[in-house]
């Protein structure tokens, strides 16, 4: 063995130790599996998602879930910093409550939940005090103090919800139908980024989102509703350490108390966003109709003539990012407002021979 090969081996060993992936394992879940299996291959797959999570005990482990509808009667708990992801995306991997009174997922570690449809929870869809949820469809959940997602920011751990569709959820007793985010102290913060949040409702304020700490970035928050006696059908901001950037907040349902219908609370911390409740021209905000392609049919992509095109504020995270449809986040030098980048004005192509 040469000195060079010894050094190479030492470098590889050191890198593995430093990244903490030496003992990380990938486990598999499929409807035809068995929770008595090891889960270490598709042929030895576990049958339930919780069964797959239970064997992933080392930070960095990955659990891959095959296509199917997974019915649960108890919440799935992620308490270790693992990645739980679907094999083929949210459209083919559905997790739903089929009995009992339960939410669908509870995340209390720096774990990642990626690519699931989460539906029909009766204590809300997802509870998070840490971790990341991305590429999910969170729909048709309801419950007291939580509709779609409840973020409980505490300690120093960040919480992130990105690239999700959050729709038709209901908070039956409090604020925040789509997402509710409240701080329980500490330096941690929440980021809600690149999401479509639509058709949610809250018994109180903030049909789309209610937040007292964190950031809302490049979200399209539309057609949500608050309680008849309350305000902020789109977003209710109740803390001065919460901010909104590059977002569209529109088409909120009217309430008995009158306007503002879409955006209510500390709106001084809103910039480069579109809502009828903002001051046009102040901090880059606009109030004009965002001109979606077909909002009546739920198509909230921007038309080429939308005032939200090329009027956002660029940020470092966008350089390698995509929008909710998987397109480049910045397509024409300056980011668009909302969750979707515009493809521009489509014209006629002439072929000259």
Closest-CA residue to 47 (of 68, 32, 27): 32
Which of 5-9, 105-109, 153-157, 234-238 is least confident?
5-9
- The CA distances from residue 152 to 196, 200, 227, 349, in Å, are 21, 19, 22, 51
pLDDT computed for residue 344 by the predictor: 61
Q: 17-31, 90-104, 157-171: which range is least confident on average?
A: 17-31
Residue 131's Cβ-count burial label (10 Å; 0-12, 13-18, 19+) is: buried
Residue 229 has pLDDT above 90, yes or no: no
Over residues 72-85, the pLDDT tens digits come to 999 999 999 999 99
- For domain 27-318, give the fold: Pectate Lyase C-like (2.160.20)
Q: Where are the domains of the chain?
A: 27-318
E-only strand ranges, 17-125? 26-29, 62-65, 68-72, 76-78, 83-86, 93-97, 105-107, 112-114, 117-119
- How deeply is 347 buried, as exposed, middle or buried, from its count of CB atoms within 10 A (0-12, 13-18, 19+)? exposed
pLDDT at 254 over 80: no
pLDDT > 70? residue 1: no
- How confident is the model at residue 22, as a pLDDT? 54
Q: Which residue has the tokens 């559905």?
A: 94
pTM of the model: 0.90
pLDDT tens, position by position, 176-223: 999 999 887 777 889 999 999 999 999 999 999 999 889 999 999 999
> Whole-angstrom distance between the N-terminal and C-terminal Cα of the chain?
66
Q: How far apart are CA 77 and CA 57, in angstroms?
A: 12
Residue 256 in contact with residue 230, Cβ under 8 Å?
A: no
Only one residue has tokens 């929440």, namely 190
């Amino acid at each position: 063995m040469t000195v060079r090969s010894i050094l190479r081996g030492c470098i590889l060993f050191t890198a593995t130790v430093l990244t903490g992936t030496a003992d990380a394992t990938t486990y598999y879940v499929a409807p035809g599996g068995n929770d008595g299996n090891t889960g270490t291959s598709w042929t030895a797959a576990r049958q339930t998602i919780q069964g797959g999570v239970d064997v992933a005990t080392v930070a960095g482990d990955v659990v891959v879930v095959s296509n199917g509808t997974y019915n649960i009667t108890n919440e799935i708990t992620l308490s270790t910093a693992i990645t739980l992801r679907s094999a083929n995306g949210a459209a083919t991997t559905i997790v739903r409550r089929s009995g009992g009174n339960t939410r669908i997922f509870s995340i209390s570690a720096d774990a990642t939940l990626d690519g699931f449809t989460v539906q029909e929870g009766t204590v809300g869809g997802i509870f998070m005090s840490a971790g990341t949820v991305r590429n999910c469809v969170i729909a048709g959940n309801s419950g007291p103090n939580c509709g779609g997602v409840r973020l409980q920011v505490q300690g120093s751990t960040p919480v992130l919800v990105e690239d999700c569709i959050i729709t038709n959820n209901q908070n039956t007793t409090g604020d925040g139908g789509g997402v509710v985010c409240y701080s329980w102290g500490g330096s941690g913060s929440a980021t809600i980024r690149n999401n479509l949040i639509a058709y949610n409702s809250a018994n109180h304020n903030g049909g789309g989102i209610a937040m007292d700490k964190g950031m809302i970035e490049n979200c399209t928050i539309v057609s949500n509703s608050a309680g008849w006696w309350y305000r902020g059908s789109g977003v209710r901001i109740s803390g001065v350490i919460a901010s909104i950037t590059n977002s569209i907040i529109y088409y909120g349902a009217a309430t008995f108390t009158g306007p503002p219908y879409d955006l209510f609370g500390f709106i001084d911390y809103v910039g480069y966003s579109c809502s009828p409740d903002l001051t046009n021209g102040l901090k880059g905000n606009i109030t004009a109709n965002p001109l979606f392609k077909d909002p009546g049919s739920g198509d909230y992509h921007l038309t080429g003539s939308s005032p939200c095109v090329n009027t956002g504020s660029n940020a470092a995270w966008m350089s390698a990012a995509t929008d909710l449809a998987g397109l480049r986040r910045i397509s024409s030098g300056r980011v668009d407002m909302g969750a979707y980048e515009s493809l521009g004005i489509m014209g006629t192509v002439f072929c000259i021979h």
